Amino acid sequence: MGVKKSLQTGGNLFNLLSSILTVLSTTTNYWTRQQGGHSGLWQECTHGKCSNIPCQNTLAVSAACMVLAATFSIVALGIGIRIQCQEAESRRSQNTIVLLFLSGLLLMIALAVYTSKNAWKPEVFFSWSYFFGWLALPFLFIAGNQHEGTRVETTPLEDSPPQKLPSHLFFAAKSTITSSDFPAPALQDTRWKRPWNPHP
């Protein structure tokens, strides 16, 4: 039980770090730096003045995936904390693992799409908001791995199904049993007896 609690605590801590990094990466405007300003998923700032970025397909995909990734990560964190606080066993750890996997997948898609859009521009440099997203990715997978470890449980002996004796052990045990271990039953006298006749 101590190992299980440790895995749950580690998974929740890594999930908390990934949630913080994902939210900061999504809401800040320092994904890229260029001469005279910087930009993010929502706004572009030039000489201290920020304005909304016109709708673009690649930015819309990246922003939507980042929002969903942050949402799934926070929901998984809430479920993980609830599981840890409950004394009884719970099967909700599987839902936490699925949410963390989806969050990591969406985060990877968002970063890959944004990278393909700006990697070929020589005047654009990636900044800390962008790297926060990449930093949150391994934390998500580590958190999912920690929660996966909590699902490994030992089955009680009384609940385990009956085990069959292997064939080689069965024949070995059979060969050790001799006839002296079990006394032979008394044989009934089945000889034919002449019926009694009062007049010989």
In the chain, pLDDT over 90 holds for what percent of residues?
Answer: 36
Q: How far is CA 184 from CA 174, 176, 187, in A?
A: 18, 18, 8
pLDDT tens-digit map of 83-111: 888 754 556 678 888 899 999 999 999 99
* Cα–Cα distance, 79 to 24 (Å, whole number): 21
Task: Provide the mean pLDDT of the chain.
Answer: 78
φ, ψ (nearest 5 deg) of residue 160: -80, 145
pTM of the predicted protein model: 0.70
Q: Would you state the CATH architecture of domain 2-152? A: Up-down Bundle (1.20)
pLDDT tens-digit map of 108-152: 999 999 999 888 888 889 999 999 999 999 999 998 888 777 665
* Cα–Cα distance, 146 to 96 (Å, whole number): 11
